[in-house]
């Protein structure tokens, strides 16, 4: 079950980052998108997508323990989960990804 919940934990983390705007340089943030893509292609991630109750539980947990005014976790359950950062942040995210590949963190 841990891998299944990790999918929604990563998705809501990405949502919060997109709501806030990525920090300068997006240093080591691309790994979260990488992980989410890898999980989505795995059986566990596909199970997570179908488990809406688990999604609600993760959103509730994040709202209590990781709440921030910018996170807008309530929007996740209203069909407004944001996984793509604004255009200005995409270049920094791409550069971060390339740096992580070069360093051997991602493959």
**Model confidence, pTM:** 0.89
Return the pLDDT at 25: 60
Per-residue model confidence as pLDDT tens for the chain (107 residues): 578 899 999 999 999 999 988 777 677 899 999 999 999 999 999 999 999 999 999 999 999 999 898 999 999 999 999 999 988 888 889 999 999 999 998 77
Tracing tokens 């996984």 back to the chain, one arrives at 83
Give the span between the Cα atoms of 73 and 75, in whole angstroms. 5
* Sequence spans of domains, the chain: 2-102
CB atoms within 10 A of CB 80: 11
Cα–Cα distance measured from residue 73 to residue 77, given in angstroms and rounded to the nearest whole number: 8
pLDDT at residue number 15: 96
């Amino acid at each position: 079950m841990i891998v299944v919940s990790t999918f929604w934990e990563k998705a809501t983390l990405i949502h919060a980052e997109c709501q806030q705007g990525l920090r300068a340089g997006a240093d080591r943030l691309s790994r979260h998108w990488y992980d989410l893509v890898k999980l989505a292609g795995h059986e566990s991630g596909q199970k997570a997508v179908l488990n809406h109750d688990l999604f609600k539980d993760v959103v509730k947990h994040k709202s209590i323990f990781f709440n921030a005014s910018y996170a807008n976790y309530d929007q996740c359950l209203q069909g407004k989960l944001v996984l793509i950062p604004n255009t200005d942040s995409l270049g920094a995210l791409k550069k971060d990804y390339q740096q992580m590949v070069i360093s051997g963190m991602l493959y």
